[in-house]
Structure 1
């Protein structure tokens, strides 16, 4: 008949089993803890790439911005060169055409003569335009009849003496004065002096009434004739005149 088990040995076996079970359980906890730690670290490690991705622009946007910056950089020097390059001067419009302008001037605005008295001087100014040059430009003078004149006469006419100042010789020389009521055609005139484009010429004249001449008032008509073209070069001028 087998002997009954001793209570002390049974307790020892149970204690050993408990120790082994506790050791096994402790290993599982360490493994589980490591797994949990690994699982905990893994998400935090994946957070950095996520933040980096949120800061950096997408590849396509970065490439577009880079291309725009490159295009802007390449365009800027060209624009600067274009703006700083000297521009050719604008072509000036052609000048407006101008014609001969003529004027007659006296000290008193007219001629007030006395028979047998001193001559009165006046000037004729020829101011040419840019349209034409004249080879022979003549200044011609005419007066209508006064009371007591015998009729048309050549030269200075009865009762008056017209003179022109000759600058080369410094003397006064006789000039033609036509006394008539009709107009002399331009083709009948000859002579004259040249006048270039935009040139100015001032001529001096003087008129005197002779002692036996008529009295009265009639204007002195001054004509400007291009004798090469047989035509008028400028508008005629009427100079007031009276003789007593």
Structure 2
């Protein structure tokens, strides 16, 4: 008697063997087909739906396993960024006060009793020192007569400095002597900050009763707070004629 077919379900190899044995003994008229059916391997009788289900389950398990393994980071994300190399900025080189004395023709060519001749003194400070009182001092060796160091005196000469605040010329000290005045006896001067520049204007006149001759004018730059020279002397050529 043929068995009623139900829904196709996956069967194990043992179940398939039992079904084949029952079919071979249940019906006498189909006994000839029993041995042939029994000789078919059990695995060939497993429904296709069972193989598909097992394959899908295996694929699902493989996908789950792949998803559970974290993706290996790329080489660019694991490699540390190369450090940025910056050249160290060296400190500025130390600079000091520099000075310049300039006049038309490079020297003072005076005429006794004539017009004054103007010249400039430029103070260009460096980055190493700041001055509260920086004095520009003038001295010339005596041609004749007695030394003098009163403001504007010579003798026989008149030195003036241009005052920018008032716009007028003021008497300045001009020492005519053959000796050296101690630095501790100088006073006054103006401030000069680091890297600042100061330009001072002067003019020198030879009076009508003064001497004639040639003698250089020595220009000194004195830090009167420290009683020391802030820069080397400058020398301005000079001659006076009748």
Aligned partners of 1:141 and 1:78: how far apart in 2?
74
Equivalence map 1:93-104=2 (5 Å):
93-104=90-101
For each residue in 1:152-184, what CA deviation from the matched residue of structure 2 results, as whole angstroms up to 9, or x when unmatched? 122222110000000010000000000111111
For each residue in 1:180-206, what CA deviation from the matched residue of structure 2 results, as whole angstroms up to 9, or x when unmatched? 111111111001101000000000000
Tell me which residue corresponds to 1:166: 163
Aligned partners of 2:159 and 2:85: how far apart in 1?
58
For each residue in 1:216-238, what CA deviation from the matched residue of structure 2 results, as whole angstroms up to 9, or x when unmatched? 00001100000000000001100
Give the count of matched residue pairs. Answer: 168
Aligned partners of 1:162 and 1:182: how far apart in 2?
20
Tell me which residue corresponds to 2:182: 185
Taking a change above 3 Å as real, the CA distance of residues 142 and 78 of structure 1, as seen in their structure-2 partners, is farther
1:88 CA displacement: 6.2
| Stretches of structure 2 lacking an aligned partner (at least 5 in a row) | 1-71
Q: Select 2:200's aligned residue among 198, 203, 218.
A: 203
Higher helix content, 1 or 2: 1
Equivalence map 1:56-135=2 (5 Å):
74-79=74-79, 82-83=81-82, 87=84, 89-135=86-132
Aligned partners of 1:141 and 1:100: how far apart in 2?
18
Equivalence map 1:35-46=2 (5 Å):
none
Aligned partners of 2:229 and 2:130: how far apart in 1?
14
1:78 CA displacement: 4.5
SS in 1 for 2:106: coil
In the superposition, the TM-score normalised over structure 1's length comes to 0.66
Higher-Rg structure is: 1
RMSD over equivalenced CA pairs, Å = 1.6
SS in 1 for 2:210: coil
SS in 1 for 2:147: coil
SS in 1 for 2:81: helix
Tell me which residue corresponds to 1:150: 145
For each residue in 1:96-137, what CA deviation from the matched residue of structure 2 results, as whole angstroms up to 9, or x when unmatched? 111100110011100000000000000000000000000100
